[in-house]
Amino acid sequence: MIGLTLLGSTGSIGISTLDVVSRHKDKYEIVALTANRNIELLIEQCATWQPAYAVIADDDLADSLSKGLKGKGLDTKVLSGTEGLQTVAALAEVDYVMAAIVGAAGLLPTLAAAKAGKRVLLANKESLVMSGKLFMDTIHESGAELLPIDSEHNAIFQSMPINYKDGLSKTGVEKILLTASGGPFRTTSLDELKTVTPEQACAHPNWDMGRKISVDSATMMNKGLEVIEACWLFDTDPGKIQVVLHPQSVIHSLVQYVDGSVLAQLGNPDMRTPIAHALAWPERIDSGVESLDLFDVAHLDFELPDIERFPCLRLAYEAMTAGGTTTAILNAANEIAVEAFLNRQISFTRIPELVEATLDNIPGVAADSIDTVLAADAEARLFANEYTKGALVS
Ligand code: NAD
Ligand code: MG
């Protein structure tokens, strides 16, 4: 049996992962489940899966979680806080760790899994955006396996040559074509964007996801974070990554080769496909996703992204080119801006403005340690919070 820790089990990716695992109970055993504050769902998941450990990130909720589990007659060990998350990511009985916490909070637990040499199933793109080089160095030093869950990166991985780690140019790869649906506002005018609501931003046309990534998809910061994620995963630079708007979300990304070939991975937009792929790799298992019906799809469209309406994409390219802690600053400012938008404190078009102001005011430095990265993250949050106060919706 393969032991599995699920960081962020109560979220969208967490729930989809449990759905895939439920089809293969003979192969995978859940060792630990974790949540931020949703103890009701965590207790319910523990009752179903009987993991050895349950972790609640918010220390104040640890007692309620223990009581709730006992009330169900469960003897699950309860841990809490970042330390608890790091512990279950590195347990000896754990083989694979699904990193599906949202945001910067995922960095230390995901890194703990990498350090412990686990197979890391990476959904938490923010940890690579914050500390790409340190993260990849850790993976290489520990001998951990890193498999992308983000649908685009999983598609790129599936379309890469087997020896891509020897270097993209050496293995005949010319370019990565990273597809983007364009989100709910692909055709919305700049003027209309000023007044869109969190509900409209979270209503993604093709994917059902957590609120933070839904807003990121609407601003296209998600695609910007994914450009950075792809640079680290495939050891390349932003100049080799072309974002392609593809509204149907059927092609999940493509790899272009020097001989004129372009390889792609296609499928229905359902995260259970990349989750099943990364769990079973190099084998294949059933994911519960319906087969793609090409006649039903009928048309595939492609467009160039509009950087004027989606400045977050430009900011992410610039941050990756600047390097060092600049991408951690971008990520932190974006998290504050998205939270403020979801709380109706700032308007949608203020999101890129707030991110750009933070990048202009906090200088990036060499990202030579995790402490340096965390300090840049904290400094950027402080600035972005102050800036938000000046930009409040009246
Ligand atoms: P979500 O909001 O639905 O779930 C987030 C999970 O993280 C929950 O279990 C929550 O309890 C936990 N969490 C939140 N804050 C935390 C904290 N401070 N400490 C510890 N745990 C915390 O998010 P999601 O949509 O499942 O996304 C998770 C990650 O996967 C994100 O990094 C996202 O970018 C990435 N991702 C998601 C999708 C998708 O389809 N949902 C696709 C690609 C990538
Ligand atoms: Mg994606």
3-state helix, strand, coil in the chain (%, to 5): 50, 15, 35
Whether 2-148 shares its CATH topology with 323-389 is answered no
309 lines ligand 1 (CB under 6 A): no
Name residues whose C-beta falls within 8 Å of residue 101's C-beta, 6 or more positions apart in sequence.
7, 8, 11, 34, 36, 57, 85, 109, 110, 124
174 CA to centre of own chain: 25
pTM for this prediction = 0.97
The amino acid at residue 319 is: A
15, 20, 101: residue to mutate for ligand 1 pocket, most atoms within 8 A of CB: 101
Q: Which atom of ligand 1 is least distant from the CA of 125?
A: 32
Domain 2-148 has CATH 2.102.10.10: no
pLDDT in tens, 24-64: 999 999 999 999 999 999 999 999 999 999 999 999 999 99
Distance CA 394, CA 391 (A): 9
Ligand nearest to the CA of 249: 2
Q: Domain coordinates of the chain in residue numbers?
A: 2-148, 155-297, 323-389
Ramachandran class of 323: left when φ > 0, alpha when ψ lies in -120 to 50, beta otherwise: left
What per-residue confidence (pLDDT) applies to 205? Answer: 86
- Burial readout 161-191 (b: 16 or more C-beta within 10 A, e: otherwise): eeebeeebeeeebbbbbbbbbbbbbbebeee
Which tokens belong to 320? Answer: 């990756």
What strands, in cross-sheet order, belong to the sheet with 241-245? 241-245, 173-180, 251-257, 262-266
What per-residue confidence (pLDDT) applies to 208? Answer: 86
* DSSP letters for 241-285: EEEEE-TT--EEEEEEETTS-EEEEE--S-THHHHHHHHHTTS--
Q: How far is the CA of 205 from the centre of ligand 2 (A)?
A: 14
The protein residue with its alpha carbon nearest to ligand 1, atom 43, reads: 150
Parallel, antiparallel or unpaired: strands 251-257 and 173-180: antiparallel
8 lines ligand 1 (CB under 6 A): yes
Q: How far is the CA of 53 from the centre of ligand 2 (A)?
A: 29
- If one counts every other C-beta atom within 10 angstroms of the C-beta of residue 198, the result is 17
Of 17, 321, 203, 370, give the one whose Cα is nearest residue 313.
Answer: 321
79 CA to centre of own chain: 24
CATH tag, 323-389? 1.10.1740.10
What per-residue confidence (pLDDT) applies to 393? Answer: 63
What per-residue confidence (pLDDT) applies to 308? Answer: 87
Distance CA 253, CA 246 (A): 9
Parallel, antiparallel or unpaired: strands 251-257 and 262-266: antiparallel
3-state class of 173 per DSSP? strand
CA distances from 334 to 42, 61, 380 (A): 28, 27, 10
378-383 CB contacts, 8 Å cutoff, 24+ apart: 378/332, 379/329, 380/328, 380/329, 380/332, 380/333, 380/336, 381/332, 381/333, 381/335, 381/336, 383/333, 383/357, 383/358
Residues of the chain with pLDDT under 50: 394
Ligand nearest to the CA of 269: 1
81 lines ligand 1 (CB under 6 A): no
Of 77, 4, 21, 12, give the one whose Cα is nearest residue 41.
Answer: 12
